[in-house]
Homo-oligomer: A and B are copies of this chain.
């Protein structure tokens, strides 16, 4: 049997475990006797189209390096936000498939979120047109947890753990004074409230906080917010409010757009920031009490120290399963996770058509939001708790986390 070459890339925003998925692909490929060369696209499909790729066998020549990769945050191979043309007869596709042919690529793995799955889906369609035998497999990754047809997405558990732990620290910090104080924590999530909902884990037995949680799935009403706050302040001096960056009002207007304009990224997504600041100013004006807003910002998606071990292992699992699927001859698929609660928490890795996944969004379920639309029900806690279990065994050197980086190898 002739061995095949494979190529893997990373795309979209980094997470704490996207490199663990890369580890999974590489590890499974290195261990397979059906695979010869393992290439890495540098800066995703965009870099590959510019001839940027490396031979990963040359890089990961020691076992220690692969272990370090597994625990290093951000995208080791570099990333891109590049949208392939809608028209699959476009010249770019021809070039990509010529490059595949030149490198004798048999399978292509793309680790990413919604937009990256769109790339896999388009390449699959183009492969049919070009009668290419390259197999295309998507490896899911997104802190947003908004991919459909999978119980959850690698990257989410670590971000959820970071958010819950950091919000807990902030609850402790914000609760030290006697005077009333409102602390607003703005959490990632343009359209889906999964990340913000994870803040519900923070208080637990320690605190009624966060007393108010607002997701983008619920129309945000400024008057109701102030009413909610008054009620909360009548019960506790320190009120912590967690909000998704993408909360919108009943007219579909973003709260962060109540002041000034927003920018737009390469995919036409609005680049949100600042609904926390808008709410902070509103609270100060309406209630005349101390109020501070905090954006958790990038660290929530790239913190290695608070990565979830479950997430790290599952991220590697989807990577390994992707290689197995390609070797079975599958293509145009994404690896999905099915939860099996028969004997405690367990996930099974299955594959589903990537065309039925890309460009859809999984919203936070309405039935997990409380009746007053400002909090999260226990059903979600049951869902999310298994995903944040276990700690990353970060290796510290001279007081700081030790990582691996392409430029240094």
Q: Give the complex CA separation of A298 and B297 in angstroms.
A: 13
For residue A47, CB closer than 8 A to chain B, the reply is: yes
Which residues in B have their C-beta under 8 angstroms from that of A305?
A: 165, 305-306
Q: Please tell me if the beta carbons of B75 and A176 are within 8 angstroms of each other in the complex.
A: yes
For residue A205, CB closer than 8 A to chain B, the reply is: yes
Q: Please tell me if the beta carbons of B43 and A206 are within 8 angstroms of each other in the complex.
A: no
Q: Interface code A365-409, partner B: CB below 8 Å = 1, 0 otherwise?
A: 000000000000000000001001111000010111101010110
Q: Give the complex CA separation of A372 and B210 in angstroms.
A: 45
For residue A177, CB closer than 8 A to chain B, the reply is: yes
**Interface-lining segment among A76-84, A113-121, A144-152, A351-359:** A76-84
Which residues in B have their C-beta under 8 angstroms from that of A297?
A: 294-295
Distance between A205 CB and nearest chain B CB, rounded to angstroms: 6
Q: Please tell me if the beta carbons of A400 and B168 are within 8 angstroms of each other in the complex.
A: yes
Number of copies: 2
Q: In the complex, which of the residues B80, B175, B388, B400 contacts A161, with contact meaning CB atoms closer than 8 Å?
A: B400
- Interface residues in A271-315 by Cβ distance below 8 A to B read 292, 294-299, 301-306, 308
**Interface residues on chain A, size class:** 35 or more
Q: Give the complex CA separation of A176 and B22 in angstroms.
A: 15
For residue A169, CB closer than 8 A to chain B, the reply is: yes
Q: Which of A14, A72, A295 has the most CB of B within 10 A?
A: A14
For residue A54, CB closer than 8 A to chain B, the reply is: no
Q: Interface code A229-269, partner B: CB below 8 Å = 1, 0 otherwise?
A: 00000000000000000000000000000000000000000
Q: Interface code A35-67, partner B: CB below 8 Å = 1, 0 otherwise?
A: 000000001001100000000000000000000
For residue A328, CB closer than 8 A to chain B, the reply is: no
Beyond contacts A174-B298, A294-B297: 17 other A-B pairs, Cβ-Cβ < 8 A, are: A72-B172, A73-B173, A74-B172, A78-B176, A79-B177, A164-B399, A165-B305, A168-B401, A169-B303, A170-B299, A172-B302, A173-B298, A201-B400, A206-B407, A294-B295, A308-B399, A390-B399
Distance between A69 CB and nearest chain B CB, rounded to angstroms: 12
Distance between A395 CB and nearest chain B CB, rounded to angstroms: 11
Q: In the complex, what residue of chain B is closest to A310 when comparing beta carbons? A: B399
Which residues in B have their C-beta under 8 angstroms from that of A388?
A: 399-400
Which residues in B have their C-beta under 8 angstroms from that of A164?
A: 399-400
For residue A207, CB closer than 8 A to chain B, the reply is: yes
Q: Please tell me if the beta carbons of A206 and B408 are within 8 angstroms of each other in the complex.
A: yes
Distance between A71 CB and nearest chain B CB, rounded to angstroms: 12
Which residues in B have their C-beta under 8 angstroms from that of A391?
A: 396
Which residues in B have their C-beta under 8 angstroms from that of A172?
A: 14, 72-74, 302, 403, 405
Q: Please tell me if the beta carbons of B177 and A43 are within 8 angstroms of each other in the complex.
A: yes
For residue A166, CB closer than 8 A to chain B, the reply is: yes
For residue A329, CB closer than 8 A to chain B, the reply is: no
Q: In the complex, what residue of chain B is closest to A391 when comparing beta carbons? A: B396
Q: Can you spell out 28 A-B residue pairs with CB atoms less than 8 angstroms apart?
A: A14-B172, A14-B173, A14-B176, A73-B172, A73-B173, A74-B169, A78-B176, A78-B177, A79-B177, A164-B399, A168-B400, A168-B401, A169-B299, A169-B401, A173-B298, A173-B301, A201-B399, A202-B400, A205-B408, A206-B407, A207-B407, A292-B298, A294-B297, A295-B297, A305-B305, A308-B399, A388-B399, A389-B399
